[in-house]
Structure 1
């Protein structure tokens, strides 16, 4: 029935998409950095066809472009944004650029010539003296024993030209002159006017950066919480800001300003990366990392190793030890002295999490993490609304916040190596490039092997990732800060997917434009 026919057509198109994708990947592997695939829109739109299959193979960026006809005399045409990444408007023509012949042919083992499968139903052959079973002896005096060769020969003709077929029909030879005449104009009354609409039509922004803004705003529209995004291509200076001056919880992104202060104090000779710090059980704090799992006494780690733990696995215990060593007031003083406004650091990880839990810091700051967790669980049993109320209280606080634009300024200055000496800035970038957290965030949908120097943060409805993307092929570098707040109902995996999609849009835009 109909379902079987549909399944057959679907399988045929899928097989064709797979073949085209494999060919495109092979072409890119042969040294060509960019590959253009020309195909019918059904093989490309909605990210379901050749483009998606290529991406799944090589994880290289792609953009989908669909051509639409723009009627004469109209400067623009409204199109659905669901069609593709970009819509290419072409002047509407009265006819296709090249003629379609419309002859269906096949070969038989007993014959050396192509045979018509059916009477023409379209193309320039429609209405001409061709019939099912006609044997094509020659075209313009040239015999053909291969259908593809004949098709290629016919494809060379333009509108207004003609060619001569010599046919064999019922044992009799006959000659048919085929003129490549333009098709007749269809009366307006026969044109269907009520086509189904797949998505709301909008005017496509003309300026490229405006198109990127539209993509990102559409991606984050009507979500559970709020996102702030700062994007800057560091070589060209092109910048895009969305809620970028609003304040968002830093979460573990505060560890980057701490690292900057650490490297500044190392440069000033106030401490050394080789200094060692003894850890006691009270230093093993709540939250992410690996040090909290080490319960035996006698742990001693260098500042260098604590930095690596703080930045690569976002270890909270390491961060709190280092913050105590450099002094929280020095972190903020350094930022102000560098002219960076919009970032404030005031609490350790332990204090932040206790505030999220609604627990008094002075009472519980030195308690082992497992005891604090037990107290919190007991409070939740007594009052299920306790956690929600604590979250609401935390969300109203103004400390330990950052604006995405301010974080991007910090990232840019580290990249340009004018915030500290060149060696210190390079050390910061090298450490950030080793980040192991947030694999599903900025890096989630980027091509495999893309270098990203970044720092993630997660705390009470905030999912952040801020860093620098190193574009391939000399395309430059992009500072990208994505910060969120009040995402309490969406699954964390879904929020990370939004961050990954944002980074993919940004990567693709600056790679291609």
Structure 2
């Protein structure tokens, strides 16, 4: 009888009804990060994936956030996929239609005269490193429009991310500015001042709640993190194009006060920012000192103070850096 009793106790201890679930390794980190969430109407979305261990953390991971220029990761990937389909090439020259010149850093500020022609590789470089809106709209047009980007995302197994508008139209809508009859989106945008109140990380401009809640041109943090993970792991593009994409993203010049701000000097961070009135995003792949690669997708909206948004992303970025580095599962 005693033997049977011991067996029964052993079985009871392992039954699902009484077994104590293992604590999530990310739970303490998630609680620490949640303290940085802005007060309403602000929202903070976070997704992080350790590509070596598979450990994942998400806060509002399935909520849709406006991507702003973070959509340019998907635009670049769609174009590179079409290069592999022999629909385009990196050496292909694109002549700028002056009616598409959207005022932003890059082409418009450095090449103000008519007659601009750039290779696809240079358009990718400008779009991803200085977030050039003209280069982005030229590439969006080249791939077949925003719907082609969404179609590629769906075909790649990315649910929860969509592209719907060109960048010039996105900026017009964010500022509640109408299209001017007879003019293109870029020309209509050029009629309004200031064109880019979100150009720096120190401006204070009121959020646009209607724009923020618009499902168009949005992504969940987990969708963006999944896209970056699949890209980095070579599941969506060839090795050469995967390497090119992340080499360009590693040269990103925007977002200095965001994720990278509080990290140890020299930390590799291949990323893309997104910024509009009340919106700051920073998404990419971070290399930890232990050699692990940490995908991060940080989204914030509904906060007028751009500097405050940047501080939040910097603080959260550092928490994720330290938290994932110290997890036993990542060593």
- Alignment partners' CA distance in 1, 2:70 and 2:95: 25
Specify the alignment match of 2:325 in structure 1: 511
Specify the alignment match of 1:10 in structure 2: none
Q: Any idea what SS the aligned residue of 2:300 has?
A: strand
Larger relative contact order, structure 1 or 2 (CA cutoff 8 Å, min sep 6): 2
Q: Which runs of 4+ in 1 moved over 6 A?
A: 374-377
**Equivalences for residues 173-188 of structure 1 within 5 A:** none
Of 252, 256, 263, the match for 1:435: 252
Unpaired segments of 5 or more residues in structure 1? 1-205, 378-386
Of 248, 266, 271, the match for 1:454: 271
- Alignment partners' CA distance in 1, 2:191 and 2:310: 30
1:411–1:366 CA distance, 2 compared to 1 (3 A):
closer
Q: What TM-score do you get using the length of structure 1 for normalisation? A: 0.55
**Equivalences for residues 146-185 of structure 1 within 5 A:** none
- Alignment partners' CA distance in 2, 1:295 and 1:307: 19
Specify the alignment match of 2:192 in structure 1: 372
- Alignment partners' CA distance in 2, 1:237 and 1:212: 16
Displacement of 1:394: 2.0
Specify the alignment match of 1:410 in structure 2: 227
- Alignment pair present for 1:237 and 2:58: no
Which of the pair is proportionally richer in helix? 2
Specify the alignment match of 2:8 in structure 1: none
Q: CA RMSD in A?
A: 2.3
**Equivalences for residues 76-95 of structure 1 within 5 A:** none
Of 337, 353, 357, the match for 2:171: 353
- Alignment partners' CA distance in 2, 1:473 and 1:395: 37
- Alignment partners' CA distance in 2, 1:271 and 1:423: 15
Number of aligned positions between the proteins: 295
Specify the alignment match of 1:466 in structure 2: 283
Unpaired segments of 5 or more residues in structure 2? 1-22, 198-204
**Equivalences for residues 253-268 of structure 1 within 5 A:** 253-268=70-85
- The structure with the larger Rg is 1
**Equivalences for residues 18-97 of structure 1 within 5 A:** none
**What is the CA deviation profile of residues 76-113 of structure 1, one whole-angstrom value per residue up to 9, with x for unaligned ones?**
xxxxxxxxxxxxxxxxxxxxxxxxxxxxxxxxxxxxxx
Specify the alignment match of 1:290 in structure 2: 106
Contact 1:281 1:368 in 2 (8 A): no
Displacement of 1:374: 7.3
Q: Any idea what SS the aligned residue of 1:479 has?
A: strand
Specify the alignment match of 1:477 in structure 2: 293
1:471–1:285 CA distance, 2 compared to 1 (3 A):
same
- Alignment partners' CA distance in 1, 2:255 and 2:248: 15
Contact 1:282 1:368 in 2 (8 A): no
Specify the alignment match of 1:343 in structure 2: 161
- Alignment partners' CA distance in 2, 1:403 and 1:247: 4
Displacement of 1:511: 1.7
Q: Any idea what SS the aligned residue of 1:298 has?
A: coil
- Alignment partners' CA distance in 2, 1:409 and 1:434: 22
